[in-house]
A and B are shown apart, each in its own frame.
Chain A
Amino acid sequence: MAAEIPPLVFMRGITKRFLGVKANDAIDFDVRPGEVHTLLGENGAGKSTLMNVLCGLYKPDGGEIEIEGELRRFRTPRDAIAAGIGMVHQHFMLVPAQTVWENMVLGLDALPQVLPRKDIVRRIEEISERYALRVDPLAPVWQLSIGEQQRVAILKALYRQARILVLDEPTAVLIPQEIQSLFATIRQMRGEGHGIVFISHKLDEVLAVSDRISILRKGKKIGTFAAVGVTKEKLAEMMVGRQVFFNGAPPTTERGPVFLAVRDLVVRGERGNIAVQGVSLELRQKEIFGLAGVAGNGQLELCEAMVGLRGSESGDVLVQGREMGNASPRAFLDRGVAYIPEDRKGTGLVPSMNIRENVVLRKYWKKPFARGRWFIDWEVAAGHTGRLVERFGVITPGLGIPIRALSGGNLQKLMLARELSDNPKAIIAVQPTWGLDVGATEYVRERLLEQRDRGAAVFLVSEDLEELLALSDRLAVIHQGRIMGITKNPRALSEEDLGLLMAGTSLEDVLRGREERGDAPLPGPLRDPGTFFAGDGAAQKKAFRAEGGEGRTPWA
């Protein structure tokens, strides 16, 4: 009898410290051939750290790794790759400037010095056919969509004949349909005897794809369970350490007047391409307007144009009916438009400056911080900062130290403190809960709801459909810089419908699909021309005229 096939990987007692904090504390973890073993945990629970130890990027401070029963020490990623470990990182670890085939063979020493391009391309095509991972081997990576880049990353591991595949939050960037095909690929690999480590904090997905589930919390392992027989609620409780309620927020009670409007806006992206192609929408006070879309479909450019950080080619942004005409960010700020950018350390804050300086970053020129024409009153700034830190519960070792040392959740609280403390009239928030743990996520969502109820117009851009469906009073979908549709009643749409819109399917086709499937027809308001338009701005106008509407601001 095959007594005890050793597991493909056995990590025993792994400990890893960063700045004295234990990111991994004596963790045991194993993967058997032909299974999907999920690592479940909040952001910051230590999942990525553990996997970076497994793939040789981090050296553990303690513990050992066995591969198929043999003790191994990975001094570099090269050792781990040689041992058959293929890592698909959350940020794919691809060289954007190079082509798919070049990325495929980077670091492979089995190849001759002069690269045999044709052979490589042929091999890629073989593997991609076998696992249904379609991709053009000659395309440069930066031109690929996020979903395609993920396929390249998985292909890369398979090209290296990895036996153990680690997928770090692979679904975070995908639309529901893409997630289904990813799961098909995972099942195919499992069937061939690969061991798969699936990392996620989304419980439905975890239950759908896993054989076993290990839960990490604050660097420690809580336990390992068979996926059959665990409930979502139980997993959530173990993951967070307390009971979690999956409730949508109450919708707004009344919608206020239009505060900020975008009209036929065309904006160029970083590479000179047209990133926003004629978008029109209106933000009303006392509502949360959600924007769904796969990353890189023009959301960032749209938001930057809405706060004056990026000039537009044509079209305009109107604040309280006033055309802004590429005004400066400060002009938007002065009219009460707050902005919570996605990239906290890169855009929203100055990591090398202290809390005080970061708090006044967007208000130092105004009273009471400005003293006369030239000076800043740091005493006043310090007092203000102290109050905000207390009110928003920012945990910090001191007001005078660079904020680089703060955790992600505290950085976000700090940014909220700065942006929300002046009672803005509109808030543009991009991925405000990205990378935060459950506690901080709840905190951010509560603040946004609070702002809405206070009377602010909130524009929420997110890739997390659950979040959008839970918070939005209206929801739009963006694809390749165009608005695919806007709905007044987000809960009437399924995640699948949204996924189709995010993938670029036209609204008509989505509606037809629903009819064909025999789904309930969408409730009344969605058919109302005033609330749901297909296509870009021009088409919206046309549709509106066809319905006989009129007025200055026809849509939504």
Chain B
Amino acid sequence: MEMLVPILAAAVRSGTPILYATLGEILTERSGILNLGLEGLMLVGAFTGFSVASGTGNAWLGIAAAFLSGCLLALVHAFLCITGRANQVVSGLALTMFGTGLSSLLGRGFIGETILGIGGMTIPLLSEIPVLGPTFFDQDPLVYLSYGLAVFLTWFLWSTRAGLALRAVGDAPRVVDAMGLSSTRLRYLYTVIGGGIVAVGGAYMSVVYTKMWGDLMTAGRGWIAVALVIFAIWHPLRAVGGAYLFGGVGALQLRIQAAGTSIPAPLLLMLPYVFTIFVLFVISVRKGKGILLGAPASLGQPYHREERD
């Protein structure tokens, strides 16, 4: 047990960036827009967060700036896919390339620098619960915020008027339009906000987790989050479990490396990716061919009100 707790706590911490990215993408995909640019969004978020935190000395300002940068970048995707009715897969890839390149271009000057970032915050009483306490309640504020976000999104989706409209626009945009709401406006809104949340995931890595900037530091976490959305069947609470599962794989791999085993590093580094394919495979087989319960029915399909086809 004593051995396990640090690993569990590390799983939560290293799962948090993935969790933010997954929650952001769930929001976006629920509106019917597929954004595969998570990797780019996270990297830009990580860079923006770090540079603003380093420049202003205020880490929270960094997080906020990261959110805005994600919104801005997602707006490009939204414009191309919603107004321009472009191919969402390719636009997402473009976003990844652009974001990756931009963060690495602008981030040159910050390599090697470290910041204070956001420190830990132990929650009294709750943190004293055996195992669960140190795992979940001896973390930093952004981890707590992510719990809140997952719970909030669940409540939002299934209990509020706006959530109802969000779920409807992903399933049947034409109906939403006929009911007097604007599908276009809703899709813009959630693509942009979703992008912002994804970018916060990236910022968590640079501002809180490592407290430094590194080229390509997300290392495929954005793509893992895309897979996790499917794993979570577009449900925010299921995303929490999935993110920590992957966080655990990452943490475990680091720990094995640190412990100095004879297993070569490249093989250990493969682990999360192999695991992603495995998990995706299991979930796809279980769901059966073609039936994606919970998947927004119009996901990835462009829509226009006056088009008759």
Chain A interface residues (CB < 8 Å from chain B): 18, 55-59, 76-82, 87, 89, 93-98, 102, 105-109, 111-115, 270-272, 345, 351, 404
Contact = CB atoms under 8 A, between A and B. Distances in A.
A410 to B, nearest CB: 16
Contacts of A272: 288, 291
B164 A97 contact: no
B256 interface: no
B167 A55 contact: no
A154 to B, nearest CB: 14
Interface in B276-305: 288, 290-291, 297, 305
Nearest to A107: B179
B305 A106 contact: no
Contacts of A76: 177, 180, 182
Contact of A57 (B161, B178, B288, B309): B178
Contact of B178 (A87, A102, A109, A351): A87
Nearest to A94: B175
A55 B178 contact: yes
Contacts of B291: 270-272
A96 B179 contact: no
B179 A77 contact: yes
Contacts, number: 86
Contact of B160 (A89, A115, A351): A115
Contacts of A18: 308
B178 A113 contact: no
A97 B171 contact: yes
Given A18-B308, A96-B172, A271-B291, A77 B178 contact: yes
B180 A107 contact: yes
Given A105-B161, A106-B165, A95 B171 contact: yes
A80 B179 CA distance: 10
25 contacts: A18-B308, A76-B180, A77-B180, A78-B180, A78-B181, A80-B180, A93-B174, A93-B178, A93-B179, A94-B175, A96-B171, A96-B172, A98-B164, A98-B167, A105-B164, A106-B168, A107-B165, A107-B181, A109-B161, A112-B161, A113-B160, A113-B162, A270-B291, A272-B288, A345-B309
Contact of B177 (A57, A59, A79): A57
B183 to A, nearest CB: 11
B308 A96 contact: no
Nearest to A91: B174
A96 B297 contact: yes
B161 A98 contact: no
A351 B307 CA distance: 15
B58 to A, nearest CB: 32
Contacts of A107: 165, 176, 179-181
Contacts of B164: 98, 102, 105-106, 115
B2 interface: no
Given A55-B178, A107-B179, A98 B168 contact: yes
A339 B306 CA distance: 32
Given A96-B297, A98-B164, A115-B164, 20 more contacts: A18-B308, A57-B305, A77-B177, A77-B178, A77-B180, A79-B180, A81-B179, A82-B180, A89-B178, A93-B178, A94-B172, A94-B175, A95-B167, A95-B171, A97-B171, A107-B176, A107-B179, A113-B160, A113-B161, A351-B309
B170 to A, nearest CB: 9
A270 B290 CA distance: 8
Given A57-B177, A77-B180, A106-B175, A114 B165 contact: no
Nearest to B169: A95
